[in-house]
Amino acid sequence: DVKVTQSSRYLVKRTGEKVFLECVQDMDHENMFWYRQDPGLGLRLIYFSYDVKMKEKGDIPEGYSVSREKKERFSLILESASTNQTSMYLCASTLPNGIGELFFGEGSRLTVL
Amino acid sequence: SQELEQSPQSLIVQEGKNLTINCTSSKTLYGLYWYKQKYGEGLIFLMMLQKGGEEKSHEKITAKLDEKKQQSSLHITASQPSHAGIYLCGADEGGSGSRLTFGEGTQLTVNP
């Protein structure tokens, strides 16, 4: 069974803390994505990666960075968390130039106090 | 970037009723994807449509893509409480089949 695993389902952090959100997929997918989901705004793409050590900015990259050291792992980093980064974060992966089906993780709900 | 508008934003129906959710794009759709999300969880893939006029069905859910490839509809027949959740449409922005832009979602409640 294919799987995208996000390391933390729920996190509570304080303003200014550094936050790591980890995502691992076991499907040997080249493409990986980080979205955030907010009420009334839907899913918005933060960053994506088409290969190891490669990254591209999505629609809302400000305040975030990513790391793709291994094919199966794509990390989202909040260098200095702020309250407006409280959100549900969703990781996804897919094959390159494939059918386009994104496989999603269960999500990580981050609260920044 | 591509914008997707879903309607309605929320929907409450009685069990057994039929319903339709619409997804309209500001640009031609290279591919249109429907996902379902249970509250607080990840997205589950339902269907993908690529050709104008295409229609696909899975159990009691049918999705269509219009001939001009700018609008899609998702129809549920004889709704059940298990159909409740958030339905999201996603569009392939450039035809690569990889990067998707999503609509805001439609919250469906099915009352027993």
Domains of chain B from N-terminus onward? 4-111 (2.60.40.10)
Residue ranges per structural domain of chain A? 4-112
Judged by DSSP in three states, A102 sits in coil
Q: What is the mean pLDDT of residues A76-105?
A: 88
- pLDDT, tens digit, for every residue of A11-37? 999 999 999 999 999 988 889 999 999
* Fold (topology level) of A4-112: Immunoglobulin-like (2.60.40)
How many residue contacts between A and B have a Cβ separation below 8 Å? 60
- Does residue B105 belong to the interface with chain A, where contact is any CB pair within 8 Å? yes
Per-residue confidence (pLDDT) for residue A72, from 0 to 100:
95
Residue predicted with more confidence, B71 or A101? B71
How does residue A62 score in pLDDT terms, banded at 50, 70 and 90? very high
- Reading phi first (left if > 0) and then psi (alpha if -120 to 50, else beta), residue B99 is in beta
Q: What is the mean pLDDT of residues A42-46?
A: 91
Nearest to B48 among A101, A103, A109 (CB): A101
pLDDT at A55 over 80: yes
The answer to whether the CB of B74 falls within 8 A of the CB of B66 is no
